Amino acid sequence: MAAPATPRASLILPRASSHSHSQPSAGRLTSDRVAASRRRRGDFVFVINPSGANGRTGKQWKQLLPHLRTRLADQCKICECITSGPSDAIDVTREAIKDGADAVIAVGGDGTLHEVVNGFFCKGSPVCALDRGPDHSTALGLIPLGTGSDFARTFGWTNDPRDAIDRIARGLKSKLDIGVMEAANRETHFFVNVADIHLSAKAGYFASMYKRFGNLCYVFGALRGFGGHNNRDMRIKVNGGEWRTVDKVTALCIGNAKYFGGGMKITPTADPFSGSLEVVILQDFKWYDFLLKLHRLYGGTHLSVNGVSSIRVRSIEVAEVTASGDIFVQSDGEHFGFLPTKFSVLPGAVDFFC
C-alpha cells in the first residue's frame, strides 16, 4: 500500500530556549528540514505512529513526553517525528541518519520498528551521515507501544515505556543483527524480528486487516489463513549449499529474535546478537494440530514435537518445488510478497540500546 502524498510526516524540532514544541506547516516542512540539518547534532529522533493500537500509541506518547523530556533533555536534543502513513518512518529515519542524528527511536509496535530498521538502509546498503565522518553511527532504540511488541518480548522487557526510556538514558548499546530478504524484481528488504512463509505469513496478511481488534487480529487472521490452505513441498538451500526438498511444509519461520503473532515463541533459540538465524519448519500440520499444540508453540517447547525441525543458518533460500506464485512471505508482520526468497543475516549491523 503506497503512502499518501500529503500530509507527510511532521518533524517537531526542539527550541533553543524552552521545551515547548510547535507543529510546522506542510508548506515549510521541506525548508525546515534543510535548515535543521545543521542544528540536529546530537539529536535523538523519536519516530511515532500516532494511529498505532487504534490511536492508543499517540495518546500514550503525549502522556509520556513530559517524563521523557525530564529524563533525557540534559543528554540530547529531543526531536519528535509524527508519521502520517505507510513508509513515512522509513523516509524520516533515512533523513535523520543523513543529517547526523545520534539515535533514532521507534515509538510503537513491531510495524513501526520494522519501518525504522528499513530506514537504516537504502538500496541494500547502510545509510550514512553526510558530514559526520566515517566513524559516526546512528543508534537504534525502541519504546514499545502498540498492538504488538514481539521484538521486546525476546529481551523480557516490561510493558512500561518508562523502563525503555531508562535504557536509552543509560546509553548501553550492543551490536544488533539484522535480517535481509532478497527476491527477484524487488528491492532488498530488512527485518529485525521474524520472517515467515506460507500459512503463518498468509495469516499475518489477513491479521493486518483486523488490527482494530488488538491481539484478536491474530486469531481472525489464522481463521482466514486456514481457508483453502494446503501444505506444500518446498526446496531450500542452506548457506549456499545444495538444494534439498522439504515435504508438506505448513510454515517456515526464520528468526532473528524469538516471538511473533502476539506472543508465540516460534523460534525459541534465536538470538539477535549471535550472527545467525534460527529456522523452524512445521511439516504436515492439520488445523487440529494447531489447537492441540498451540500451548507448546506459545511456550516455545515445540521443537521436540513430531513434524517440527530447527536449524541455524547464515543464509537460506526457499522456493516451491512446483512454482505457483501464491506462497505468502512476510517479515515482522508486514507482507513482503511471494516465493522464491533468499534470507540472510547482517551480523552486528546496527548499534541498539539495550
pLDDT in tens, 5-42: 434 455 544 433 333 343 443 333 443 444 444 434 47
Segment 258-281 shows an average pLDDT of 96
* 140-179 per-position pLDDT tens digit: 999 998 665 899 999 999 889 999 999 999 999 999 999 9
Higher pLDDT, 90 or 290: 90
Percent of the chain with pLDDT over 70: 88
pLDDT on residue 195: 98
Would you call 110 a catalytic residue per the annotation?
Answer: yes
- Is residue 110 pLDDT above 90, yes or no? yes
Record the cell numbers describing residue 110, joined without a space: 513491531
Q: Name the pTM for this structure.
A: 0.87
Domain boundaries, the chain: 42-171, 188-347
Split at pLDDT 50, 70, 90, the class of 241 is: very high
pLDDT on residue 146: 67
pLDDT on residue 147: 60
Higher pLDDT, 131 or 345: 345
Selected from 3.30.360.10, 3.30.2350.10, 3.40.50.10330, 3.40.190.10, the CATH number assigned to the domain covering 42-171 reads: 3.40.50.10330
Q: DSSP states of 270-325 as a string?
A: --TTSSSEEEEEEES--HHHHHHHHHHHHHT-GGGSTTEEEEEESEEEEEESS--S
Cα dist from 41 to 4, 140, 254, whole Å: 30, 16, 37
Segment 128-144 shows an average pLDDT of 94
pLDDT on residue 19: 38
Task: Say if CB 142 and CB 164 are below 8 A apart.
Answer: yes
* 168-210 per-position pLDDT tens digit: 999 999 999 999 999 998 999 999 999 999 999 999 888 888 8
- Is residue 295 pLDDT above 70, yes or no? yes
d(CA 106, CA 189): 18
User: Burial letters for 54-83: b for 16+ Cβ neighbours within 10 Å, e otherwise?
Assistant: eeebbebbeebbeebeeebeeebbbbbbbb
Closest to 82 in 3D by CA, of 102, 62, 68:
62
- Is residue 341 pLDDT above 70, yes or no? yes
Cα dist from 265 to 150, 167, 248, whole Å: 9, 24, 22
Active-site residue, selected from the candidate residues 88, 110, 150, 196: 110
Same CATH topology for 42-171 and 188-347: the answer is no
Selected from 3.30.450.20, 3.30.390.50, 2.60.200.40, 3.40.50.2000, the CATH number assigned to the domain covering 188-347 reads: 2.60.200.40
Which residues lie across from 260 on neighbouring strands?
264
Percent of the chain with pLDDT over 90: 73
pLDDT on residue 89: 98
- Is residue 240 pLDDT above 90, yes or no? yes
Taking each helix axis from N to C end, the angle separating 56-72 and 161-170, rounded to the nearest 10 degrees, works out to: 40
- The number of residues making up the chain comes to 354
Closest to 145 in 3D by CA, of 244, 49, 222, 262:
49
How many CA within 13 A on the CB side of residue 122?
Answer: 13
Cα dist from 349 to 163, 178, 271, whole Å: 24, 6, 14
Q: Other C-beta atoms within 10 Å of 353: how many?
A: 21
Highest mean pLDDT out of 40-44, 224-228, 268-272: 268-272
Task: Say if CB 177 and CB 351 are below 8 A apart.
Answer: no
Strands 334-338 and 103-108: unpaired
Higher pLDDT, 55 or 247: 247
d(CA 341, CA 238): 12
